[in-house]
Amino acid sequence: MARPRKIVVTVESLAEERERLRLRLAEIVKEEAEAKRAVQDAGREPLLLALERVKIPAMDKATAKSLAGAISTHGGQYLIDHLPKLPEA
């Protein structure tokens, strides 16, 4: 039976390993940030598709920004749950 190879640890090999791990960690941090952005913006596409299918009365830019901000801050379901009961159109 062959004897296991003895691994020699040197300062240089440890520094190389640290640098390799630092680069991998930087990649992971970047991937995590991208994933978080994707999660935060996951509702955009369904909302835009829904908006294409309904008639929306005129509104000014400030109202549109306020509505978008409320969706961003509280989420769509919260707004639906807290809207006064309005008659169906």
Question: How many Cβ atoms from other residues are within 10 Å of residue 52's Cβ?
Answer: 7
**pLDDT value of residue 89:** 59
Question: How many Cβ atoms from other residues are within 10 Å of residue 76's Cβ?
Answer: 14
Is residue 7 scored above 90 in pLDDT? no
pLDDT in tens, 9-44: 899 999 999 999 999 999 999 999 999 999 988 889
Element (H, E) at 74: helix 61-74
pLDDT in tens, 61-88: 999 999 999 998 998 899 888 888 777 6
pLDDT in tens, 39-48: 988 889 999 9
Q: What is the mean pLDDT of the chain?
A: 90
**pLDDT value of residue 3:** 74
Element (H, E) at 71: helix 61-74
Whose CA is closest to 47, among 80, 25, 15? 80
Global confidence as pTM: 0.54
